[in-house]
Amino acid sequence: MTAPTTTSADTATRSVRALRTPGGLSVRVDPRAALVTVLVGAAAVAVGVVLIGSGDYPLSFGQVVDTLLGNGTAAQEFVVRDLRLPRALVAVLVGASLALSGAIFQSLSRNPLGSPDVIGFSHGASVGALSVIVLSGGSALTVSLGAVAGGLATGALVYTLAWRRGVHGLRLVLVGIGVAAMLSAVIHFLVTKANLVDATRATLWMTGSLDGRDWAQVGPLALVLAVLVPVTLVHGRPLRMLEMGDDAAYALGVPLERTRIVLIGCGVLFIAVATGAAGPIAFVALSAPQLARRLTRAPGPNLAAAAVMGAALLLAADWIATEAFPGRQLPVGVVTGVLGGCYLLWLLVTERRAGRL
Amino acid sequence: MLVESPPRESAEPAAAPAVPGRRALRTAGLAVAVAVLLLLCVASIAVGAKPVPVSEVWHGLFHYSGTANDVVIRDVRVPRTLLGLVAGVGLGLAGAVMQALTRNPLADPGLLGINAGASAAVVSAITFLGVTSLGGYVWFAFAGAAVVSAAVYVLGGSRGATPVRLALAGTAATAALYGYINAVQLLDAAALERLRFWTVGSLSTADLRTVLTILPFVAAGALLALLLARPLNAMEMGDDTARALGAHLTRTRVLAMVCVTLLCGAATAACGPIVFVGLMVPHVVRAVTGPDMRWVLPYCAVLAPVLLLGADVLGRVVTRPAELQVGIVTALIGGPVFVQLVRRKRMAQL
């Protein structure tokens, strides 16, 4: 069963198989996309093991695997299980959330730059967290809750302001940009109001960091993702239809506004919990879906591939942050910021040459 | 030689068909705007943590005798007002030129990342090269503004740029640059202490030397902008029509970019990044004058300082005796204006 699919991204004929069950159900399977997802997932696991093995108490690849399987010494058990594994898991969960959020909003806005860190949602989360830091000097948990509340409030605000007999993707983006500009003024205001200690803490938080994340963060994150990821994946098909334009999607039987509100809700929740857990880590949401799309060469949002790509990216960035300057731990947000700048340049060159963007 | 631009539909009763009458109206409007600006200058000198009566303002300006009020006026309020004037002229003209150049109603030096580029360059200069004087880092501000404006123009699709593409490219560039600025501030707590106030956009650190340093650049940029009024008028009708009307497209584009860089770079170097002034003012002006750049530019040069000084005075009043930086006030006023612009149907479909 081969079906020629032509897309705006590539015009090559691709083989897409349909798996049929005896009961008469059928599922379309894109072998390349599936292969890419598996390979990137394997790479993420490998990078994760390397990340767990690196630091002030280095462990070899084999030692880490042994320890994870329960055959390590007590010291190794402590370092791996209590210190580094939760951090790596937070990186995986946050990376996947950011990437899924980016994939959703890039698809909805039909623009590779329309990711949530550009159109204001992570600004909202930052305002929430900074308010907690500056006004009450709260604990890590209340800062996270502030970020989630800020992100959700911003999502609701942008959606309401962009509403005009339905929410158009472009209007959503532009309203988001306007709200983002206002919110960054609020962020600056909060930073100038703070004393130097709080200002440093706020700036550190705004860079995005995985330092000191433990099992207390992993649990809630995993719980939220366990609910959101299936919902998002189920809406992958309607989202792909929406990319073809409202009229085409409507004709194909997609309930426009309901799909959009569910997806926007999921996207905002993803970015809010990710920001709450690790701060506004730049550019993972922007670049992971694009890299996934280029590797799978499949049309549509490529949600599964984007999620594993986000996890792999954040793990790799955290590893670079740990290893780049021996004896000095950079916040991971600095690394993703620099990589993101390079990615923007690359986008600039390739997309210009291809005459699209 | 250039035909009168087609009148834009607007609810403004001033857009009467008779050309001489319209010119008189526009001139009268400009005179009113100048009067408002003068009043605001007086207000800006009089209002603040220590209010000064208007009669004393006159005294301090022209009969300086060294009283406490005179010192406040001469050393604090007057430079601050002058800086607001000069920076306002720069930002307003830059916004108008950019919107005409990109034929994009959402162009604004803040939104398109140019201010962030100047900020990033200034932050680097302060932190890594130990440059401390304005005269030193104003050049870095120009370089940063030039590089980022070119990059955003290309990233946004240059001639095929739509409002959405340009705005996204600018915001993405801003995000990247602010990531960098944050990282620099983190590595150096002393730099954070100095920079966190500068990166807000404020007029409060003004002194006369600051004003005199940026004045030549803004003056040159403003002159260039006024000289470009006719070619920009032609270019607003599309490339082909502009060429047919005798405009030199490449030269105009390059000169307009130079002009924007001069104006934004100087304003940003002196007061830090200030958003939305360059966006709002040209829109208000076009609603009054129509699209003719020969009128839009002078109006912008007067009304942008009105907005900036107004925002500054407002920021001094609302949280007295503390004050709200002018960059925050303009963003909080400008954000809703921007959202309203976007919500207008015509805009969203561009």
Q: Is residue A78 part of a domain?
A: no
| CA gap A183, A155 in Å, rounded | 12
CATH number where A326 lies = 1.10.3470.10
Predicted pLDDT at B5 = 44
**C-alpha dist (Å) from residue B60 to A283, B72, B76, B82, B211:** 53, 9, 12, 15, 19
Range of the domain at A301: 95-350
Give the three-class secondary structure for A29.
strand
Number of Cβ pairs closer than 8 Å across A and B?
153
Q: Is residue A282 part of a domain?
A: yes
Q: Is residue A191 part of a domain?
A: yes
Buried b (16+ CB within 10 A) or exposed e, A203-242: bbbbbbbbeebeeebbebbeebbeebbeebeebbebbbbb
Q: Is residue A56 part of a domain?
A: no
Reported confidence tier of residue A306, pLDDT bands at 50, 70, 90: very high
Say yes or no for a CB contact (<8 Å) between B186 and A177. no
A211 to chain B, any CB pair closer than 8 A? The answer is no
Predicted pLDDT at A230 = 93
- Which residue, among B152, B154, B162, B171, would best test binding to A if mutated, counting the most A CBs under 10 Å from its CB? B171
Distance of residue B154 Cα from the nearest chain A Cα, in angstroms: 7
- Considering only CB atoms, A113 lies closest to which of B169, B179, B275, namely B169
Predicted pLDDT at A98 = 93
Q: Is residue B72 part of a domain?
A: no
More confident residue, B244 or B341: B244
Q: Is residue A115 part of a domain?
A: yes
- Considering only CB atoms, B186 lies closest to which of A119, A189, A204, namely A204
Q: Is residue B35 part of a domain?
A: no
**C-alpha dist (Å) from residue A8 to A30, A31, A146, A344:** 17, 20, 41, 21
- Reported pTM: 0.77
Distance of residue B75 Cα from the nearest chain A Cα, in angstroms: 24
Say yes or no for a CB contact (<8 Å) between A118 and B172. yes
- Considering only CB atoms, B151 lies closest to which of A117, A174, A348, namely A348
Q: Is residue A137 part of a domain?
A: yes
Q: What is the pLDDT of residues A146-177, one digit of tens each?
A: 888 999 999 889 888 887 766 676 778 778 88
Q: Give the total number of structural domains in chain B.
A: 1
User: According to the per-residue pLDDT averaged within each range, which of A144-158, B166-180, B194-208 is highest?
Assistant: A144-158
Q: Is residue B223 part of a domain?
A: yes
| CA gap B267, B86 in Å, rounded | 8
pLDDT > 90 fraction of chain A, expressed in percent and rounded = 19
Closest residue in chain A to residue B199, using alpha carbons only = A188
Q: Is residue B95 part of a domain?
A: yes
Say yes or no for a CB contact (<8 Å) between A282 and B179. yes
**C-alpha dist (Å) from residue B305 to A208, B127, B228, B319:** 37, 31, 21, 22
| CA gap B25, B27 in Å, rounded | 5
Q: Give the total number of structural domains in chain A.
A: 1
Say yes or no for a CB contact (<8 Å) between A178 and B342. yes
Measured in degrees and rounded to the nearest 5, phi and psi for residue A19 equal -85, 130
Q: What is the pLDDT of residues A113-152, one digit of tens each?
A: 778 877 888 889 889 988 888 888 777 788 888 888 999 9
Closest residue in chain A to residue B110, using alpha carbons only = A181
Residue B348 has pLDDT above 50, yes or no: no
Q: Is residue B77 part of a domain?
A: no
Q: Is residue B65 part of a domain?
A: no
| CA gap A243, A105 in Å, rounded | 11
Residue A253 has pLDDT above 80, yes or no: yes
Kind and range of the H or E element at A221? helix A215-234
Q: What is the pLDDT of residues B85-135, one digit of tens each?
A: 999 999 999 999 988 887 777 777 777 788 888 888 888 888 888 777 777
- Considering only CB atoms, A200 lies closest to which of B192, B342, B348, namely B192
Range of the domain at B263: 89-348
Q: Is residue A135 part of a domain?
A: yes
Q: Is residue B24 part of a domain?
A: no
Q: Torsion angle of alpha carbons B286, B289, B291, B297, nearest 10°?
A: -80
CATH number where B252 lies = 1.10.3470.10
Closest residue in chain B to residue A339, using alpha carbons only = B176
Residue type, B169: A
Contacts of A188 in chain B (CB under 8 A): 196, 199-201, 325, 327-328
Predicted pLDDT at A99 = 94
Q: Is residue A73 part of a domain?
A: no
| CA gap B107, B156 in Å, rounded | 11
Q: What is the pLDDT of residues B295-328, one digit of tens each?
A: 999 999 999 999 999 999 998 888 777 778 888 8
CB A289 within 8 A of CB A306: yes
Nearest to A232 by CA among A121, A103, A95: A103
Predicted pLDDT at B19 = 60
**C-alpha dist (Å) from residue B143 to A112, B65, B178, B182, B197:** 28, 43, 17, 20, 22
CB atoms within 10 A of CB B177: 24
Give the three-class secondary structure for B92.
helix
Of A131-135, A244-248, B107-111, B226-230, the one with minimum mean pLDDT is B107-111
- The alpha carbon of A201 is separated from its chain's Cα centroid by a whole number of angstroms, namely 23
- Which residue, among A105, A113, A346, would best test binding to B if mutated, counting the most B CBs under 10 Å from its CB? A113
ipTM: 0.71
Contacts of B189 in chain A (CB under 8 A): 196, 200
| CA gap A257, A238 in Å, rounded | 11
pLDDT > 90 fraction of chain B, expressed in percent and rounded = 17
Give the three-class secondary structure for A26.
strand
Q: Is residue B71 part of a domain?
A: no
A202 to chain B, any CB pair closer than 8 A? The answer is no
